[in-house]
Amino acid sequence: MTKLKNKDLISIHDLSLQEIEDIFALSADLKKKQQNQEKHEYLWAKSLAMIFEKPSTRTRVSFEIGMWQLGGLAINLDQEAIGLGERESVGDVAKTLSRYADAILVRTFEHAKVIELAKYANVPVINGLSDLLHPCQALADFFTVIEKKGKDNLKNLKMAYIGDGNNVCHSLMFAAAKLGIKLVIAAPKGYEPKAEIVKTSFADAKASGAEIEIVNDPVIASEHADVIYTDVWASMGQERQRKTKNVKFKTFQVNAELVKLAKPDYIFMHCLPAHRGEEVTADVIDGTQSVVFDQAENRLHVQKAILTLLLGGNNG
């Protein structure tokens, strides 16, 4: 079992296509082992320090349980306890935790803190979410797409992302660009993905043959889509913008009328938590073509693969 090329997992842009495929292959193997109740303690006695500045359900539970299933230990450090960049400098935290733990996970607001932690840490740093990127989520998302649609059909698929050009959208762009998938993003004017992400992902897409398109019309994005994906309109830390965004994003709701434009066997995806009645209607997210809880489960298996490949776990 080979390690990933880079010390850290900060962005999918930093991964090669082969590394993404290695993550997916190991994720499938680990998922099968978990379902068959086979031990897979590849990280026996290894430890993960988890820093959470933002609330978390899926990220915390999947990493903590995942590390335990791999034979290791995960410790939660919330902002009140650690005071990252306030009670203590980011560099000092990184250096200290590197003496205790084998890896560091951080879920934070400022992407710069992820970069700074990685700069000063001697152990792998995993971006569990920042305001710019959410790589673990996007990797789990595309692993789910492969499960549902098949690996061989991947480059023939069209994914429509409807909503805010946020951290999830950015990481989906990087992943689609590496995997060669057609991704059409529909966002209101002024809420498109950041220019720096567009430039980098478009360059990656040119190299892989992927198609990434950004439009301001959810109808165009949804037509003949194999996958329709959305996220909350106001992310954590943007609660004050919620009323404004609810008005500006009103026509970007994923509802029964919009999904009729997709292929009959389309799947609906959402990274959760969801605001039913805002970005998506209950009949869509709770319908038979929704795979949101498969996505949520796959965070566990994909992140276990990431941990194993970053830490050089031994599968015997």
Give the catalytic positions in this structure. Answer: 107, 134, 137, 231, 271, 299
Residue type at position 237? G
200: burial class by Cβ within 10 Å (0-12, 13-18, 19+)? middle
Note whether 269 and 229 are within 8 A (CB): yes
Nearest alpha-carbon partner for 157 in 147, 170, 168? 147
DSSP state of 223: T
Q: Are 267 and 148 in contact (CB under 8 A)?
A: yes
Measured distance CA(174)–CA(10) in Å, rounded = 12
- Order across the sheet with 103-107: list the strands: 73-78, 47-52, 103-107, 125-129
Q: For residue 75, give the H/E element and its range.
A: strand 73-78
> Is residue 44 within 8 Å of residue 71, measured between CB atoms?
yes
